[in-house]
Structures are given as C-alpha cells and as structure tokens.
C-alpha cells in the first residue's frame, strides 16, 4: 500500500496536542482541513487513531504504538532531504515555531525579531509556551524548531547548546525609605518581596540559591509575568530579585533602582535545545547560529 507522507506530520502534531483546534493552529491550516487529513489517516491505517473525549482527544493503542516509529522516520527523511538543500535567508519564506521561556521571550526574542527583519525578512516566528515541562512544547518530536531557556535532564533525542550565563540583581523603588545605594543581608530579609510564578526552572534556581546562602525572603506578592513586577515595586516599599539582564531594562525606569544582591547568588545557564531531526537542516542551522550570536552579544553588553 502507498502512503501519503504529508499525513504523518499532522499525526505527530495531533499526538502532542490531543486537540483539533490547537493542532490546526500549530500547522497553520483550518480545522476542516485538519479533520479531512485525519479522516484520510484513519482510512489508511484502518483505525480511529484518536477518540474524542470531554477535554480533547485520546490516542488509540495503535496510535501510541506507531508514534515513535513515525517520529523517527520523519527525522531520517529530514536528514536526507533537507540536508541537501541550500538556504538563502534573504529570499527564504518560512515559519519557525520556537518555545522560549518567559525570561528568553523578554530578554532575547525582541533582538532576534529585529535581526531577522534585517537579514531574513521572509522568516516568521510563532512562539509556543515553555514552562517547566519541555514535553509540552513540541520540541521532543521535532514539530517545534527549538526550546530556549533552562533545561534539566533533556531526553536523548534533543541536542542542547549553551547560549549564555546570567546572574541576579535586586530592584527597589527610587527614594526607598530604607535602601540607599546598596542592600544589606539584614535589610533584604526584613523587606517584603515580589516573586515570579509559576514555579518553573528559573524560580527553582532562585530558591535554591537563596537556600544555599541561608538567605530568607518574605514573599508578599507572587505574579505570573515579569512585566508586572516593575509596576508593583515602583508603588511599594517591596523588593524583587530578578535576572540581571531583565534588571538592565528595568534600570531605564527612573522610578526604580537596581542593586547588587547582599550575597553572591551565583549564575544560571540559558540553553537552546532542538530535535536531532533538525541537525542537518540548513535553515535550522542558520537560525540556531543567528540566535547563538545574538545571545553572546546580549550577554557581553550586560
């Protein structure tokens, strides 16, 4: 029997999303088009493949069984076919899905988009969230080009590259009644703090650094995005501890001042990970190289 290979990437995305609407959005097609593709897959494999449930779709036993083989086959095809193609960033028209964590989205993505506008105007980016679970990003199957952030115990089918290191700094409001040009350990522990949620890898790293130094912190407010923290600190006597590269942006706000932490809180790595199927793809290699260059520039300008 002859199979339409165009159906297989759709199967992989459905396996990851377990939802027709989200899968269609990731693939850039309409829901009716995706449903039609799914029906063709079902006819070819003579199996329902996905069963509708209240909150999405559940793969059948056959779908679970064949998914690893399909993912591996697509990776081998990409190595053979895409590795032979030339890539010209000036003329290329392509959409890349990338998964940056909140930190990378704030610190690196604007610079990446700006650079692409100059050197590769036809390259478009689609961002998908990367919290504490890399399995939710699509990078483990290769449907997402790369994950950017801090990775712990990545699976064997991912290649991981170190991009840069960042440290931590403290922020209080200008004119704070207790804090001058520096902050002592006693002051740090006495103040109330603004903290970042949800508990992803970056937050775990900060908590571990505080614990290692025996530094206590009373959290008064926990928020879900970096952008809300400067506004909270500017109108209170609270303190916050943030990555130094984020603090570099905050330092431009005259309402706020950035201070060195009272103890050495160390540094944390920023990494890029991609599926082995993209190892030899010229377009992917070019984009990874561009991001690596920008990360070094941002780190050196700190």
Omega before 292 within 30 of 0, i.e. cis? no
Lowest-confidence region among 64-68, 191-195, 230-234, 252-256: 64-68
Closest CA to 207 of 259, 265, 151, 164: 265
Show the 3-state SS of 177-214.
CCCCCCCCHHHHHHCEEEEECCCCHHHHHHHHHHHHHC
Structural domains for the chain: 7-84 (1.10.10.10), 94-165+269-300 (3.40.190.10), 168-266 (3.40.190.10)
Q: Mean pLDDT throughout 101-128? A: 95
Tokens of 108: 């690196």
Select, from the ranges 18-22, 71-75, 266-270, the one with the highest average predicted confidence (pLDDT).
266-270
Distance of CA 163 to the CA centre of its chain: 13
What gap in Å lies between CA 272 and CA 99, rounded to an integer?
10
151 Cβ contact list (under 8 Å, min separation 6)? 134, 158, 160, 201, 271, 273
**246-270 per-position pLDDT tens digit:** 999 899 999 999 999 999 999 999 9
Give the torsion sign (CA, 97, 103, 108, 114): positive
pLDDT at 244 exceeding the cut of 80? yes
Confidence of residue 224 (pLDDT cuts 50, 70, 90): confident
What gap in Å lies between CA 138 and CA 273, rounded to an integer?
11
- Give me the residue label for tokens 């199979």: 3
Q: How many residues does the chain have?
A: 302
Tokens of 249: 């942006």
What gap in Å lies between CA 150 and CA 164, rounded to an integer?
10
What gap in Å lies between CA 215 and CA 238, rounded to an integer?
16
**163-213 per-position pLDDT tens digit:** 999 999 999 999 999 999 999 999 999 999 999 876 444 456 778 888 889
Beta strand 168-173 pairing with 239-243 = antiparallel
56 Rama sector, left if φ>0, alpha if ψ -120 to 50, beta otherwise = left
**4-15 per-position pLDDT tens digit:** 778 888 898 898
**What's the pLDDT score for residue 82?**
60
What gap in Å lies between CA 240 and CA 139, rounded to an integer?
32
Cα angle 45-48-50, degrees, rounded to a multiple of 5? 115
Distance of CA 184 to the CA centre of its chain: 34
């Amino acid at each position: 029997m002859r199979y339409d290979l165009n159906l297989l990437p759709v199967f992989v995305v459905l396996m990851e999303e377990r939802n027709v609407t989200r899968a269609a959005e990731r693939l850039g097609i309409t829901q009716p088009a995706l449903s039609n593709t799914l029906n063709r897959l079902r006819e070819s494999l003579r199996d329902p493949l996905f069963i509708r449930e209240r909150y999405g779709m559940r793969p059948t036993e056959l779908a679970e069984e064949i998914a690893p083989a399909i993912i591996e086959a697509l990776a081998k095809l990409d190595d053979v076919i895409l590795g032979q193609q030339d890539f010209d960033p000036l003329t290329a028209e392509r959409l890349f899905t990338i998964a940056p964590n909140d930190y990378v989205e704030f610190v690196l993505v604007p610079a990446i988009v700006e650079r692409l506008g100059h050197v590769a105007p036809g390259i478009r980016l689609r961002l998908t969230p990367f919290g504490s679970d890399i399995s939710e990003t699509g990078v483990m199957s290769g449907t997402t080009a790369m994950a950017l952030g801090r990775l712990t115990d990545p699976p064997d089918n991912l290649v991981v590259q170190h991009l840069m290191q960042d440290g931590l700094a403290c922020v209080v409001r200008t004119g704070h009644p207790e804090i001058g040009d520096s902050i002592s350990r006693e002051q740090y522990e006495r103040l109330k703090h603004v903290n970042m949620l949800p508990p992803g890898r970056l937050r775990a790293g900060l908590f571990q650094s505080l614990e290692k130094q025996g530094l206590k912190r009373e959290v008064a407010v926990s928020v879900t995005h970096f952008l809300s923290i400067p506004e909270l600190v500017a109108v209170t006597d609270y303190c916050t501890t943030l990555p130094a590269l984020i603090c570099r942006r905050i330092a431009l706000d005259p309402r706020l001042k950035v201070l060195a932490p009272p103890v050495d809180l160390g540094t944390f790595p920023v990494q890029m990970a991609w599926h082995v199927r993209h190892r030899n793809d010229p377009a992917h290699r070019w984009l990874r190289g561009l991001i690596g260059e920008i990360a070094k520039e941002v780190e050196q300008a700190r």
